[in-house]
Chains A and B, each alone.
Chain A
Amino acid sequence: MTTPTHMVELRDVCMQFEDKKVLDGCSLKVQPEERLVVMGQSGSGKSTLLRLILGILRANSGSIFFKQFQIAELSRRKLQRIRQHIGMVYQYSALLSSRTVRDNVALPLEELTDKSRAEIDKIIDEKLDLVGMKDSKDLLPDELSGGMRKRVALARALVLEPELLLLDEPSAGLDPVIASVIDELIISLSEKSKVTSITVTHEMESAFRIATRMAMLYQGKIIEEGEPEQFKQSKDPVVAQFISGSTEGPILEGSLDAITKK
């Protein structure tokens, strides 16, 4: 088996939850410093893809590489070390609810580095400033709005200076203005810090704003990959229907009849 030169590579990955096949021979390559957006319907396996890259889930078959490391073959200790190079922003932020914003962002630094309290405070200030949350350091996650939580989650993901950033629906549930702020933040971070990012979303506006490259996940496979402009002119009926949001097309075939009959 050849060792990949990409930041992330998925080779023929299959993943099944009980009877439901979520990924069925999914292959994908992510180049360093690119902002890849993976699109797909709800429940199509986009978040599963991110969890597989992180090694939180194990694929039924196929291989997943982060740089030269095959995720499934790593020991627990090695996997934990690899994860320190990957930042993850969850759909619902997943901030530790009993800790303040400061403590949430400080957690990876306190647990995984030997930095002094003063150094940690300096980094926290810098990262929270970057996401415009410096004044909310002492608040608990419950006291923050959805957009603010997302920004804190982003700061936490960036605190160890990761090489790869994984974003699960970063603008879902946010108003259009805050969604744009988050998108701009992702773009500026990736440009300034040269971070590679994989964003999964089904929000078209956000996807086209962030992406330098796009991929469409449908029925467990990547059916099309390319630059945003190429995607807009796609001849693939699934991609075209997904981008236009039309009810006519192959995506709802069968299920639309069931919906309209109700």
Chain B
Amino acid sequence: MANANPPVLVAQGVGHLSRNFLREVGGVFWFIINTFEETFERLQQGRVPFRAASFFRYTQRTGVDSVPLVGLVSFFLGLTMALLTGYQLQRFGTERLIPGLVAITFTRELGPLMTGIMLAARIGAAFTAELGTMQVSEEVEAIEAMGIGPLRFLVAPRMLALFFLMPCLSTVSNIAAVLASSLICKAYFSIAFPYFLDLVKDSLLIRDIITGILKSFLFGLLIAAIACYRGLTVKGGAAGVGTSTTSSVVTAITTVIGFDTLYNVIYTTFYPT
């Protein structure tokens, strides 16, 4: 290999990376399909795929316990955004655009995106570490050996909890950011709260809200799938759990941002206005 041509080496490297990337994408895709399949098979047998208590435990962890973090970060972001854009808009006498700007930006874009990033770090990491530890200590195999489907038992409740809770948390994020911008509007730009609400209502379209909600569902599914996939494919003991957890967070955040961009490109192509 010492005499190999540099362009050949670069091509080999690119090929190797592409193959790994495609393998990972395929792995996560089949992981989601298999989880659905195992869950529906169980439903066909007339049995619940997982216990309600287990589902609600995860909704509590992913949803309710994440409200302070999501609310606080979005509140600060809303404050900053209203303040910085406000001073720029004030130069042109258009500061009454702040409420609409913050509302639309958060509802369509920043709410789902920031919530996705925060949950990938907070919940995705926890899911990967938890399942990874179970994997290396043979707990997952023991579940499988008993005749219990590990995907429907371990993955489905986590995936479903994050899928349903993401839109709720995005809404919390939107409300916190809009509330923060209303405080800035009142304090710095003399826009009273009733007028602020009128401006928000005038600028915000149902379409913006639906777009944000649909994105949130997608992000929830992706974060949970990546986190659980990484957890169940851990190799190499405690060090492997650490590596997979880091990789899970990085992959989930990159995927969320990537899908957000893709979603926006497709959306603006078909609905340009």
Taking chain A's interface residues, is the majority helix, strand, or loop, or is none over half, making it mixed?
A: helix
Contact B142 A56 (CB under 8 A): no
Q: How far is the CA of A241 from the CA of B9 in the complex (A)?
A: 52
Q: Which of B126-162 contact A (CB under 8 A)?
A: 133-134, 137-139, 141-149, 153
Residues of B close to A77: CB separation below 8 A: 41
Q: Which of A97-151 contact B (CB under 8 A)?
A: 97, 107-108, 110-112
Contact A112 B139 (CB under 8 A): no
Contact B141 A108 (CB under 8 A): no
Interface residue stretch chosen among A2-10, A78-86, A203-211, A243-251: A78-86
Residues of A close to B137: CB separation below 8 A: 92, 94, 97
Interface centre among B137, B138, B145, B153 (most CB of A within 10 A): B145
Residues of B close to A80: CB separation below 8 A: 147-149
Residues of B close to A72: CB separation below 8 A: none
Q: How far is the CA of A97 from the CA of B133 in the complex (A)?
A: 10
Contact A90 B147 (CB under 8 A): no
Contact A81 B147 (CB under 8 A): yes
Residues of B close to A82: CB separation below 8 A: 147
- Residue total for A at the interface (Cβ-Cβ under 8 A): 25
- A94 and B148 contact, Cβ closer than 8 Å, known pairs A77-B41, A111-B153: no
Residues of B close to A92: CB separation below 8 A: 137-138
**In angstroms, how far is the closest chain B Cβ from the Cβ of A151?**
15
Contact A108 B138 (CB under 8 A): no
**In angstroms, how far is the closest chain A Cβ from the Cβ of B146?**
5
- A94 and B147 contact, Cβ closer than 8 Å, known pairs A77-B41, A111-B153: no
| A42-84 Cβ-contact flags toward B at 8 Å (1 or 0) | 0000000001001010000000000000000000110011111
- Residue total for B at the interface (Cβ-Cβ under 8 A): 18
Residues of A close to B148: CB separation below 8 A: 80, 107-108, 111-112
Q: How far is the CA of A77 from the CA of B44 in the complex (A)?
A: 11
Residues of B close to A112: CB separation below 8 A: 146-148
Q: How far is the CA of A16 from the CA of B17 in the complex (A)?
A: 27
**In angstroms, how far is the closest chain A Cβ from the Cβ of B132?**
13
Residues of B close to A107: CB separation below 8 A: 143, 146, 148
Residues of A close to B133: CB separation below 8 A: 97
Q: How far is the CA of A88 from the CA of B145 in the complex (A)?
A: 7
Residues of A close to B134: CB separation below 8 A: 96-97
Contact B142 A88 (CB under 8 A): yes
Q: Which of A1-34 contact B (CB under 8 A)?
A: none
**In angstroms, how far is the closest chain A Cβ from the Cβ of B43?**
12
Q: Which of B91-142 contact A (CB under 8 A)?
A: 133-134, 137-139, 141-142
Interface centre among B41, B144, B149 (most CB of A within 10 A): B144
**In angstroms, how far is the closest chain B Cβ from the Cβ of A257?**
31
Residues of A close to B38: CB separation below 8 A: 76
Residues of A close to B153: CB separation below 8 A: 111
Residues of B close to A83: CB separation below 8 A: 144-147
Residues of B close to A111: CB separation below 8 A: 146, 148, 153
Residues of A close to B144: CB separation below 8 A: 56, 83
Q: How far is the CA of A97 from the CA of B134 in the complex (A)?
A: 8
**In angstroms, how far is the closest chain B Cβ from the Cβ of A161?**
13
- A97 and B139 contact, Cβ closer than 8 Å, known pairs A77-B41, A111-B153: yes
**In angstroms, how far is the closest chain A Cβ from the Cβ of B148?**
5
Residues of B close to A81: CB separation below 8 A: 147
Extra contacts besides A80-B147, A111-B148 (9): CB < 8 Å: A88-B146, A94-B137, A96-B143, A97-B139, A107-B143, A108-B146, A111-B146, A112-B147, A156-B146
A-B pairs with the 3 shortest C-beta distances? A83-B147, A94-B142, A94-B138
Pairs across A and B, CB under 8 Å, 20 listed: A54-B145, A76-B38, A76-B41, A76-B149, A83-B147, A84-B147, A88-B142, A90-B138, A90-B142, A92-B138, A94-B139, A94-B141, A94-B142, A96-B134, A96-B143, A107-B143, A107-B146, A111-B148, A156-B146, A160-B146
